[in-house]
Structure 1
Amino acid sequence: MAVSPAQRRYNWRVVILAIVYAAVLLPVCWLFARHLVHGPLAYLLGALPALPVSGFFVAIGLYLAQERDEYLRMLLVRQSLIATGVAMTAATFWGFLEGFDLLPHVVGYAWPIVWFAGLGFGAGVNAAIERRAA
């Protein structure tokens, strides 16, 4: 299947964001592991890795706005809805079990990771639906 111009732009955005994420996260983790930052700078650096992660969601939104092919947009919308369902369901179950002291605390940044895993699961669902339709 040919890649649309909107998909090409989306792919480049994701690659750039992934590079920025790694370039930010690694030194921030290094600094915090050695207790080299304190005060307001610690808050600034601690929040910094969230920016490229947030950028992934912006990239998806831009792709949906720029993609001209309605079918391709629908595939990503379905994939995103599946990802949202997976992440929110997992967070809800975990949250209740954690609240009843049955599971350990999970850091908040874990839930976008679950969402991205759900995005992969949604891609698999899309592929399975495609195979059944063929």
Structure 2
Amino acid sequence: MSLRPEMKRYTYRLLLTFCVYAIALVGANMWFRHAPPSGLLAYVVAILPALPIMGVFVVIGRLLVEMRDEYVRMLMVRQSLIATGFALSVSTAWGFLEGFGLVEHAQGYWTTVLWFAGLGLGGCFNALTEWRAAR
């Protein structure tokens, strides 16, 4: 089965964005490990790996806009909403636990990791819903 044009563009954009992320992450880590920058440059270098991750959200948004099949778009929106609810719920609960001194501090970027895990949960939910509908 051939991919639809919007899915081909999405796949290309996503691969490109993750390649840029890998380069930025490795580069920033090496820079800080071997010749740590200082001042404003340190902030710029530290933020570099975050920029492609922000780009992933733009890539997903563009796919939602470009998608022609409204049912598949609805499934992706639901999947994204599940991911968002999951990430925000876990982050909020962790924040309260941290505030009461019950758990250690977690770096903020873990919320993005939770969001991607939630995207997987949303995909599983969509698959289960589709399976039930086919029965």
Question: Which TM class, normalised by the smaller chain length?
Answer: over 0.9
Q: Distance in 1 between matches of 2:110 and 2:19?
A: 19
- Structure 2 counterpart of 1:56: 56
Equivalences for 1:85-104 in 2 at 5 Å? 85-104=85-104
Q: Distance in 2 between matches of 1:35 and 1:114?
A: 32
Q: Distance in 1 between matches of 2:121 and 2:67?
A: 22
2:44 pairs with 1:44: yes
- Structure 2 counterpart of 1:70: 70
TM-score, length-scaled by structure 1 = 0.95
- Structure 2 counterpart of 1:129: 129
Gaps of 5+ in 2: none
Deviation, structure 1 residue 40 = 1.1
Aligned length: 134
Give me the CA root mean square deviation.
Answer: 1.1
Q: Distance in 2 between matches of 1:47 and 1:118?
A: 24
Deviation, structure 1 residue 34 = 3.2
Q: What amino acid does structure 1 have at the position aligned with 2:97?
A: L
Q: Distance in 1 between matches of 2:35 and 2:96?
A: 33
- Structure 1 counterpart of 2:16: 16
Q: Distance in 1 between matches of 2:48 and 2:81?
A: 27
TM-score, length-scaled by structure 2 = 0.95
Q: 4+ runs of 1 displaced by more than 3 Å?
A: none
Gaps of 5+ in 1: none
